[in-house]
Amino acid sequence: MTRLFRAFGAPLASVILLLSGVWILGLIAAPQLIMIEQSLWRMERPEGSAEISVQIDGLYNRLDVIGLDRSVAESETDSAKRETELAALAAEEAAIKAEIAVLEEKESTPVKVYTLDNFGQMGSAHLAIFAKTIVASLAVSAIALVVCYPIAYAVAKLETPRTAAAIMLALVIPYAINELLRIFAWQMILNNNGPANALLGLLGFDPVPFLDSGAGVFVAMVYAYILFMVFPLYNVLETLDSNQVEAARDLGASTWQIHRRVVIPHARPGIAVGCIMTFMLSAGSYAVPYIMTRGTAAPWFTQLIYNRFFEATNWNVGAAYALSLLAVCTVFIFLMMRLLKVSLKDIAK
Amino acid sequence: MTRAVSGSTFVLRLYMALFFAYMFLPLGVMVAAGVNDYSPPSITVWQGFTLRWFAEFWGDARMWLGLANSLLIAAAVMALALPMGLSGALLLSQLGRRSAGLLYTVMVSPLLTPGIIIGISTVIFWRNLDVTAGLFTAILAQSAFIASYAMLMFMARLQRQDLTLEEAALDLGASRARAFRRITLPFLKPTIMTAAVIAFLQSFENYNTTIFSIGGNHTLVTEIGARMRFGISPMINALGILFIVVTVICAVAWAALRRREYQLESVK
């Protein structure tokens, strides 16, 4: 900290600290912590509310009795006595009404109770969707890795630097085009009367309801996020010294051995980044299932989260769902870092 | 390559060609439907070339309002995320190894968090302060992760800084603030420009974080998403064509700039 002040002088250092603080505490840490807190409580009817409602019922009965007493009192002939009795009854009635108001307030005002029940709200149906989302996202990552590895290797190692640069620039274009447009292209292709079904029709097949079966979500997801695998892989493979590959070949290694022992170990950070990005984007994607199902196929977990917040308006359960998704992504990141022995510094390059 | 094209290279080339077809054909389908005189968007029924979907977009007030919101948000995000990212990078550059490591983890975490989580947690936080979701929360949610991009870019640039220049300025009697303004900032200028462009694009094109944090308002992109779901009008395709044209221009300009920079540095 003193180094900061020495390096920039007090006024500038204060501005740096202030801005960093607003970002780290105000925009990153505080919202996450509040979300965690929100997932851990809910508003409940207060404890003993059943006893209170019995008590309230008793008081209402008492009011009825007072009503009877009053009609008896009103038939009293002695006016002085009648007045005092009626006044006493009115006072008692007012006291009971006040007590009822207090008790009813107590009965109906929910209290904040800390509980893990929000996570338990998931039930088997939502849990199945959660599991499906995770498995499908893992599959997207795996497919992207298998498809992209040869591409990245071929571009980085087999092409001249000039051609490689041109190829990567060409790939930047679909990468930079808005996610929604890439998804929409597939919605058109897989639509009931789209080109995919037209082609199947020419081959004599019945139309396939790609969108309504949820298959469309998966196809569009692979397409939308596959380029997040190509670029990290290419970036690490570009730094691989071709002499290493040559040396391995001269020493008699087979192609498979070269990749297993030389290329893949070198590509670890790229593999980690690619897998983390594709998994995180798939599991956290709202756009793809939203556009690719039109609500006809089973929802994606992100849609459940959205509904908890903006349709069912149960923010506590929504926060618990969101936190579950975040936890899965965090675990995945640590697993990849462990498995591929890379640090966060390698990942964020 | 001087060697004859071997069998495996041929297979790889073929594979690459297939991959390119896979990447570009769907976009071609979308472009074609944008100029096809048929609604809903289709390429299986061809009714002839038209530009009327562009005209339809031109007359759509909701889209224009969305565009205005997008530009407003992007401007605010640039104004917020760049200084925060730069501060973060400068702070890290002056910290000890251990504390820098922890801080660094927090600063890059938004990039590894699903966008919807950043969006929704911002909304929850501000609702507790009685601020309803809207453009304001969308700006803050986007800034949280866009500042991370900026921080990484500034950090990479700062690591290449020649510290002797700054020291020379100090020796010659410049104050710290003056040395920063006259030496460090000009050195960072190219990165500030690229970071501004990246921040703008990231903000403008964002969907997942924005849809969870913008409440009842909309941006151009969230409005496009809402219309896409039912794919009723090829106006969306026409808009898509505009997006693609802009993207291609930007990509080519960026490549040209990089090339010039590269040539300049190799001349030095």
Tens-place pLDDT, residues B257-266: 877 777 776 6
Residue A1 in this model has a pLDDT that exceeds 80:
no
pLDDT given at position B2? 42
Identify all chain B residues contacting A233, using CB atoms and an 8 Å cutoff: none
Identify all chain B residues contacting A306, using CB atoms and an 8 Å cutoff: 116, 211-212
Residue B95's pLDDT band, with cuts at 50, 70 and 90, is: confident
Angstrom distance (rounded) from CA A290 to CA A301: 11
Q: If you average pLDDT over residues B87-116, what whole number do you get?
A: 90
Residue B167 in this model has a pLDDT that exceeds 50:
yes
CB-nearest to B140 from A27, A29, A280 is A27
Residue B116 in this model has a pLDDT that exceeds 70:
yes
Q: Specify if B100 maps to a domain.
A: yes
Angstrom distance (rounded) from CA A78 to CA B19: 106
Cβ contact B125–A31 (<8 Å):
yes
Long-range contacts of A165-170 (CB under 8 A, 24+ apart): A165/B255, A167/B16, A168/A231, A168/A234, A169/B251, A169/B252, A169/B255, A170/B20
Residue B156 in this model has a pLDDT that exceeds 50:
yes
pLDDT given at position A349? 60
Percent of chain A with pLDDT over 90: 46
Tokens coding A24: 């780290």
Residue B1 in this model has a pLDDT that exceeds 50:
no
Cβ contact B91–A8 (<8 Å):
no
Angstrom distance (rounded) from CA A82 to CA B257: 102
**Which CATH number goes with the domain that contains B130?**
1.10.3720.10
Amino acid at A320: A
Interface test with A, best of B23, B126, B249 (most A CBs within 10 A): B23
DSSP H or E stretch at residue A113: strand A111-114
CB-nearest to A322 from B95, B120, B177 is B120
| Per-residue pLDDT tens over the stretch B117-132 | 999 999 999 999 999 9
Instruction: Using a CB–CB cutoff of 8 Å, tell me whether A301 touches chain B.
Output: no
Tokens coding A45: 């009817």
Q: Specify if B218 maps to a domain.
A: yes
Residue A206's pLDDT band, with cuts at 50, 70 and 90, is: confident
| Per-residue pLDDT tens over the stretch A171-197 | 988 988 899 999 999 998 998 888 888
What residue in B sits closest to A190 (Cα-Cα)?
B26
Identify all chain B residues contacting A32, using CB atoms and an 8 Å cutoff: 121
Residue A112 in this model has a pLDDT that exceeds 80:
yes
- Chain A closest-CA separation from residue B230 CA (Å): 7
- Residues 62-91 on A with a CB inside 8 Å of B are none
Q: Specify if B267 maps to a domain.
A: no
- Chain A closest-CA separation from residue B235 CA (Å): 12
Question: How many CB atoms neighbour CB A124 within 10 A?
Answer: 7
pLDDT given at position B253? 85
Instruction: Using a CB–CB cutoff of 8 Å, tell me whether A146 touches chain B.
Output: no
| Per-residue pLDDT tens over the stretch A300-327 | 999 999 999 988 888 999 999 999 999 9
Q: Specify if B191 maps to a domain.
A: yes
Cβ contact B112–A280 (<8 Å):
yes
Angstrom distance (rounded) from CA A86 to CA A70: 6
pLDDT given at position B267? 63
DSSP H or E stretch at residue A43: strand A41-44
- Chain A closest-CA separation from residue B191 CA (Å): 15
Tokens coding A140: 């997207």
- Mean pLDDT lowest among A143-147, B79-83, B223-227: B223-227
Angstrom distance (rounded) from CA B109 to CA B139: 18
Picking from B201, B205, B132, B229, the residue whose alpha carbon sits closest to that of residue A303 is B229
pLDDT given at position A55? 87
Residue A165 in this model has a pLDDT that exceeds 50:
yes
Q: Specify if B176 maps to a domain.
A: yes
CB-nearest to B125 from A30, A165, A284 is A30
Cβ contact B228–A184 (<8 Å):
yes
Cβ contact A31–B122 (<8 Å):
yes
What residue in B sits closest to A315 (Cα-Cα)?
B124
C-alpha distances in angstroms, A78 versus A74, A75, A82, A226, B50?
Answer: 10, 9, 6, 96, 99
Pairing mode of beta strands A111-114, A41-44: antiparallel
Q: If you average pLDDT over residues A60-74, what whole number do you get?
A: 86
Question: Which domain covers residue B198, as residue numbers?
Answer: 60-237
Residue A161's pLDDT band, with cuts at 50, 70 and 90, is: confident
Q: Specify if B83 maps to a domain.
A: yes
Q: If you average pLDDT over residues A33-56, what whole number do you get?
A: 86
Residue A308 backbone class (left: φ over 0; alpha: ψ -120 to 50; beta: rest):
alpha
Percent of chain A with pLDDT over 70: 99
Alpha helices by DSSP H, A75-122:
79-108, 117-120
Q: If you average pLDDT over residues B85-102, what whole number do you get?
A: 88
- Mean pLDDT lowest among A35-49, A267-281, B186-200: A35-49
Q: Which residues pair with B49 in a beta bridge?
A: B36
- Mean pLDDT lowest among A51-65, B69-83, B116-130, B205-219: A51-65
Interface test with B, best of A20, A160, A233 (most B CBs within 10 A): A20
Q: Specify if B54 maps to a domain.
A: no
pLDDT given at position B122? 96
Q: If you average pLDDT over residues B53-79, what whole number do you get?
A: 94
Count how many pairs of residues, chain A against chain B, have C-beta atoms within 8 Å: 242
Q: If you average pLDDT over residues A128-136, what whole number do you get?
A: 94
Identify all chain B residues contacting A16, using CB atoms and an 8 Å cutoff: 87, 90-91
CB-nearest to A290 from B12, B23, B229 is B229
Identify all chain B residues contacting A337, using CB atoms and an 8 Å cutoff: none
Q: If you average pLDDT over residues B13-20, what whole number do you get?
A: 92
Residue A42 in this model has a pLDDT that exceeds 90:
no
pLDDT given at position A180? 93
User: What is the number of domains present in chain B?
Assistant: 1
Average pLDDT, chain A: 89
Identify all chain B residues contacting A255, using CB atoms and an 8 Å cutoff: 8
What residue in A sits closest to B226 (Cα-Cα)?
A291
